[in-house]
Structure 1
């Protein structure tokens, strides 16, 4: 598992529920309920599960629960996740002889039932700061195991499962520029042809803020979101070559570690991480003071989703997310701030920005996404600026400022090409399906 279990620091482990005295008689497996860290390599929860199993001389089993519409996930997100899990399943069972179990439904039911069925001696899970996952863990802790381990894995029909989620979530189709899985993630990080650290790092400190240079970004966020690569692994590999590009490495690590930790901590300690209640007092006050300021435009959620605004730059940013599954980070700030400017108030602006981000971004439903929207709309992790209509003291961004930073017309043309490419691919796919039906 590419890490020494002896190096596991005690501070990494939190006990959610102590075992009862009767459970001490159990000699069943250690079950790892995998959620956020969907990988074998550098997975500290899996390492801990294996270590505890070795100590007790019992087997290890990995369980994963598929939520049928977790926070609005569609084909784009679920397809990517399941294709990665199919690879992980093979790696776990063939390389490490660890059985993998896939369940569907409410984890509050499926995981306790499995723990009970196999008479688990310990249940381990990975960390997530999101409210729904933490509530689920609390509920699971209330349900103890009672029977014994049966010791057999179950057949998983991955093809049928993937086909089903693609059909149900077809409204937001899969992307084809990002191959899922641990091996693909390491290729993006360290590959000899197009790896971030091996071929693209040098220009990162400058190019990462230019929406016309998407290759200037690391391209790792989908893998980090689905846990197919460890942020720690990325940081260690980057640190090992820091002397070659110190400025670029420092910028990368700051975003990878500092901002990621800030987002996780905000979502963990602030129960209202997705509402105006979670903003600082100064931000709530200034937003409410200006909530009824006159807006030049008011757009509905449907108009925004379809990119039907008077601003071609904003429309392009929305369509980049729809077509590509990933909006450039600089544009995401402008995009969310314009939603604040064009809706009936900050609460609606935040609700719409989170909805669109979660629906179309391949890495939506993530602490970084929630905090990104909260930063843009509610000033979280920011400071107060010069007061102005609508925004109050929230940091302001506008079209003219974007024109000073990059080629706006070039970006709009780039997104238009993305749309044309997507249309051609869709037409080609429909043609192939029609031909298959005819034959």
Structure 2
């Protein structure tokens, strides 16, 4: 232990050279003599061995006579949070925390169910004498680490745990691979063979109180933990790529034995079966589950052309990407590209594109280009993409997006969201290479991409065994293709069916009506002298509160299927009409609300006008029949996407679920649609009514893509309940009379009218969970009565139930 005065002077130079050369001080604060512990924030060096940050923390804590605590967490609202990434991180943490426990190191894990919940890290750090962080140069971690350092008086040291040659020892940002290779050739020759000197320092473990309840990883049910988090449940864990050091080194040993020697010959063939071809280690290197030092050392020892080429990729190209991110303020910025690349892309920004493809069709691998779609489905389903094929995949994006800046944003989103190795410096290096990074101009100029190096999918497909590759990527990641019935083609059922189908599961969607979308419904009618007109008689619009749903809606907007409804929405309160929140975005389907359901069902196997009877369980799964006892098939899983009272009746073979669904009460609603022969100028487009028989009035024709003079009236739930069996014509007359009284003027001539009774309009009470699922039975239910009401709630409930199914495949 050192004295208090010496503690203030403690600096990285007090440590062994192999550690202090890797340390950057992020603030000028001295080590705090009042600190209670040394804190190590672990996130991308998740291992208990050959870990420079952990060894630094062990050295420092022991020398300062303070206990050590390792903190790892999934707070921070990372934009790509999904079951896939959470599960891999948690699996890696299980291995690392167990390994550290064996060394007497206490490690704790914080897992909030709400990703945007405040992190306990600043509070922990404020009580520390010193914070050790990892110097991970890819977004968002540099910004997060800087903010932590600025927020507290505790000094923060960042430690490079990834590169053989520490990033801060490089003299500059290198523009080409040969520059980095030439600069570091001698250093690599000296460093690669060295064994990592593990420390023998053993400080006490911190046993003080924590500002959160840490997760006990020893007994963690990872699928259940992921299911409880409000993250993207449509991207399941990749069952063939479990996180953790044990799985990572097992993969390396297999590749080293059976694939390394031929790496130089087979690495570019995406159809080659592993372990021949590529190592598939990138996710483990990204999260630090395996040590790059050990991998390099053992590859060097293996010798041969394959090992030599493998080391070139591991050292030169990987560390070139780290160098780029380290010396670049924002690797995602347009300005991060070389000047010549920005100039040529800008010069051709106005060129005609082959086609414009919205984000959702790109993400689902639905462009029509077979090779590209298979590559994207490898990302979507398996969470990985062969590196050589990724280069061709990335080059294609510029020809399908409106400008090069949008192409860059799409590349980053598609890769980082789906790939287990996404958000890595190597990812940025590879993606931006497609737009000119680490490259030079190639003439002649071409439309759209100018003088960028060309790689087209047609050429790549000719040198690849496409059928073999297709067979691999069109399998589910779990290796098992389930037969799944989804009963109900409302928004919740469509969300579940699409998510499951996207993961290569066999899905059949049953719907009792003749259309899709459930209460996201539109009635069409024709008038003499007018084009086809419509009235949205169900959901009038939808709002966005959750970023998971926003991403979907913005993609639908790109395709022109939805649009913002800018109409003025007021509320009638007694004798006054008052404005509502003018900042609230309201979205509608175009040209009608039901356009959305039709699009979502377009590539699904749907059986319309089929009334499904309650499923019957047998030894191998579920038997489905219609209400006339005609067989509909045998299924491994059954999902009920219907209003809660109907779901309760369908769940008779899962009584616990049926009982929960039966607790939900629904309000009914009469809807009246009416077309007038002339316009009504009311000063508002939508009106909530808090008196009389009406609850809502909408000028349907004011919505984007509509025409005519069409209004929709919704009755109050109490009035509807009293008039459930009233004749339709009488309902129309009563609500039109209430409309006229409400606005204080006669209505124009009615040229068309219709009514519809919604028995299950809105749930009065909601289940405090996003879906129901019985994993032992393989049956569940979802809908807008689970967790969140209305369209957004229905969609997220369907995705949540799909996630439960996929997690247990």
Q: Residue in 2 aligned with 1:410? A: 468
Q: Residue in 2 aligned with 1:396? A: 454
Q: Residue in 2 aligned with 1:170? A: 233
Post-superposition Cα deviations, 1:221-273, rounded to whole Å, max 9, x if no partner, equal 1111111011111101111121xxx2111111111111111111111212231
Which runs of 5 or more structure 2 residues have no equivalent in the other structure? 1-14, 156-205, 484-504, 507-634, 639-773, 781-809
Q: Indicate conservation of the 8 Å contact 2:19/2:52, yes or no.
A: no
Residue 204 (1) aligns with residue 204 (2):
no
Residue 353 (1) aligns with residue 361 (2):
no
Residue 112 (1) aligns with residue 117 (2):
no
Q: Residue in 1 aligned with 2:193? A: none
Aligned to 1:70, the other structure's residue is in SS state coil
RMSD: 2.7
Q: Indicate conservation of the 8 Å contact 1:45/1:126, yes or no.
A: yes
Q: Residue in 1 aligned with 2:148? A: 140
Show the 5 A alignment for 1:75-224.
75-93=83-101, 95-103=102-110, 104=112, 110-116=120-126, 119-142=127-150, 143-144=152-153, 151=208, 155-158=214-217, 159=220, 163-166=224-227, 168-190=231-253, 195-215=254-274, 216-224=277-285
Structure 1 CA distance, aligned partners of 2:36 and 2:367?
A: 59
Aligned to 2:421, the other structure's residue is in SS state coil
More displaced 10-residue stretch of structure 1: 421-430 or 45-54: 421-430
Q: Residue in 1 aligned with 2:296? A: 235
Q: Residue in 1 aligned with 2:321? A: 263
Post-superposition Cα deviations, 1:132-161, rounded to whole Å, max 9, x if no partner, equal 322222222231269xx7635765244367
Structure-2 change in CA distance of 1:47 and 1:106 (3 Å): farther
Structure 1 residue corresponding to 2:371, chosen from 313, 316, 319: 313
Aligned to 1:210, the other structure's residue is in SS state coil
Which runs of 5 or more structure 1 residues have no equivalent in the other structure? none
Structure 1 CA distance, aligned partners of 2:87 and 2:478?
A: 23
Q: Residue in 2 aligned with 1:430? A: 637
Q: Residue in 2 aligned with 1:10? A: 20
Structure 2 CA distance, aligned partners of 1:52 and 1:176?
A: 39
Tell me how far 1:404 sits from its aligned partner.
Answer: 4.3
Q: Indicate conservation of the 8 Å contact 2:83/2:226, yes or no.
A: yes
More displaced 10-residue stretch of structure 1: 131-140 or 204-213: 131-140
Aligned to 2:70, the other structure's residue is in SS state strand
TM-score under structure 2 length normalisation? 0.49
Post-superposition Cα deviations, 1:43-84, rounded to whole Å, max 9, x if no partner, equal 001001111122222221101131354131211111110121
Q: Indicate conservation of the 8 Å contact 1:214/1:328, yes or no.
A: no
Structure 2 CA distance, aligned partners of 1:397 and 1:197?
A: 30
Q: Residue in 2 aligned with 1:33? A: 41
Tell me how far 1:429 sits from its aligned partner.
Answer: 7.0
Could you list the structure 1 runs, at least 4 aligned residues long, displaced by more than 6 angstroms after superposition. 105-108
Structure-2 change in CA distance of 1:415 and 1:137 (3 Å): closer
Structure 2 CA distance, aligned partners of 1:357 and 1:437?
A: 33
Structure 1 residue corresponding to 2:345, chosen from 287, 303, 310: 287
Structure-2 change in CA distance of 1:145 and 1:382 (3 Å): closer
Tell me how far 1:388 sits from its aligned partner.
Answer: 1.1
Structure with higher Rg: it is: 2
Structure-2 change in CA distance of 1:421 and 1:86 (3 Å): closer
Tell me how far 1:389 sits from its aligned partner.
Answer: 1.2
Q: Indicate conservation of the 8 Å contact 1:108/1:137, yes or no.
A: no
Bigger relative CO (Cα 8 Å, ≥ 6 apart): 1
Residue 296 (1) aligns with residue 303 (2):
no
Q: Residue in 1 aligned with 2:65? A: 57
Structure 2 CA distance, aligned partners of 1:169 and 1:109?
A: 20
Aligned to 2:290, the other structure's residue is in SS state coil
Q: Residue in 1 aligned with 2:422? A: 364
Choose between structure 1 and 2: higher helix proportion: 1
Post-superposition Cα deviations, 1:161-207, rounded to whole Å, max 9, x if no partner, equal 752424533111111111211122121122xxxx1112221221111
Corresponding pairs, count: 419
Tell me how far 1:293 sits from its aligned partner.
Answer: 1.2
Q: Indicate conservation of the 8 Å contact 2:48/2:97, yes or no.
A: no
